[in-house]
Amino acid sequence: MQQKKLNLTAKDGASINTIVFYSTNKPKGILIVCHGFGEHIKSYLEFSKYLTDGGYLCVIYDQRGHGEMCDISMDDRAKQFGIIPNYECFLDDIDVIKNAVISLYPEIPLILYGHSMGGNIAVNYLLTKGQSGFACAILETPWLRLFKPVAAPVVVLAKFLGRWNPKWAIINRLNLDDLSRDKKRNAEIENDELYHNRISFRMFSGINDAGEYAIKNAANLSIPCLLICAEEDKIVCPKAIKEFKDKTDSNVILKSYDGAYHSVHNDIIKETYFKDIIEFLDSICFAPKLH
């Protein structure tokens, strides 16, 4: 697997740290990968290796409030974890990356992939910005609702505080053992200096509202989509994922994994998972074209 950096600038002038992972062969398709909360590009090195070995190219970027933040100092970076101008910037950044990828790799099928928070962002991009240009999507355990519901008064308060000051944030007490059943991988995440559990009230409110919007408007998702549910997920709500599926048509395929935890691509069943998603991608990218 090889890699190269793309120098991309967001619509508001911020730098979008973006890496392309590829093999020397012409790719069957290209995945734009929206990572989950607290994660960053290097969280997906093993993921990228599986996908590039399977014939796909991966474009992975640090989402707002995450990752290296190359244009600021390390001390300031810690203060910026979990901080965003607004939810819309998540969607605008996908626009920038999509346009760059299409110009670099025209006529190669484009896939939108999102995990957890990234699944929330990916599906809201498709529902609000448009699905044209994407051959399909994969939503891995998307954050539509949390496993433990946040009390309604707290949601209202978070929205008020987020509007008042975008920099007000809290530490989310996430149990890393709930990420996957691979204890070694969970320990690596715990020791990752770029991984964080800091979330601003503005970010939480934006994601929370967008999750409800996605469920309400699920019927408008028209491209082929593989929807992933981990049956033992204790971070996001499996019932919300199934509710989303119930409102869609046959273009959305629900794939549930018994016993799996939230981060299926890191779980002990990851080899089966990667085989499944590559089979799904192959079915789309090699589908006969109608004239």
Residues 6+ apart with CB under 8 A from 258: 231, 232
Q: What average pLDDT does range 66-77 have in this prediction?
A: 76
Longest dimension (CA), the chain: 56
Q: CB–CB of 143/174 below 8 Å?
A: no
Phi, psi of 17 (to 5 degrees): -70, 115
pLDDT of residue 287: 66
CB neighbours of residue 281 within 10 Å: 25
Two structure tokens written together for 27: 């790719």
Q: In the chain, what are the domain boundaries? A: 2-285
What is the tens place of the pLDDT at every residue in 212-233? 999 999 999 999 999 999 999 9
What is the tens place of the pLDDT at every residue in 110-163? 999 999 999 999 999 999 999 999 999 999 999 999 999 888 888 888 887 888
pLDDT of residue 288: 52
pLDDT of residue 286: 77
What is the tens place of the pLDDT at every residue in 230-255? 999 999 999 999 999 999 999 999 99
CB neighbours of residue 74 within 10 Å: 9
Distance CA 117, CA 73 (A): 25
Q: CB–CB of 166/83 below 8 Å?
A: yes
| DSSP secondary structure letter of residue 202 | H
Tell me whether strands 29-34 and 56-61 are parallel, antiparallel or unpaired. parallel
Distance CA 26, CA 24 (A): 7
Identify each DSSP E strand in the chain by its residue range. Answer: 2-9, 15-22, 29-34, 56-61, 110-115, 136-140, 169-171, 198-200, 225-230, 252-257
pLDDT of residue 220: 97
pLDDT of residue 178: 96
Q: CB–CB of 142/114 below 8 Å?
A: yes
Angle CA 139–94–120, to nearest 5: 35
17, 36, 91, 108, 246 from 5: Cα distances, Å: 8, 20, 21, 19, 39
pLDDT of residue 290: 41
For residue 289, is pLDDT > 60? no
pLDDT of residue 291: 35
Task: Provide the residue count of the chain.
Answer: 291
Distance CA 58, CA 33 (A): 7
**Quick one: angle between helices 201-216 and 152-164, nearest 10?**
120
Residues 6+ apart with CB under 8 A from 4: 19, 20, 22
User: Domain 2-285, what architecture?
Assistant: 3-Layer(aba) Sandwich (3.40)
Distance CA 260, CA 257 (A): 6
What is the tens place of the pLDDT at every residue in 167-193? 888 888 889 999 999 999 999 999 999
Positive or negative CA dihedral for 171, 119, 66, 281? Answer: positive
What is the tens place of the pLDDT at every residue in 19-58? 999 998 889 999 999 999 999 999 999 999 999 999 999 9
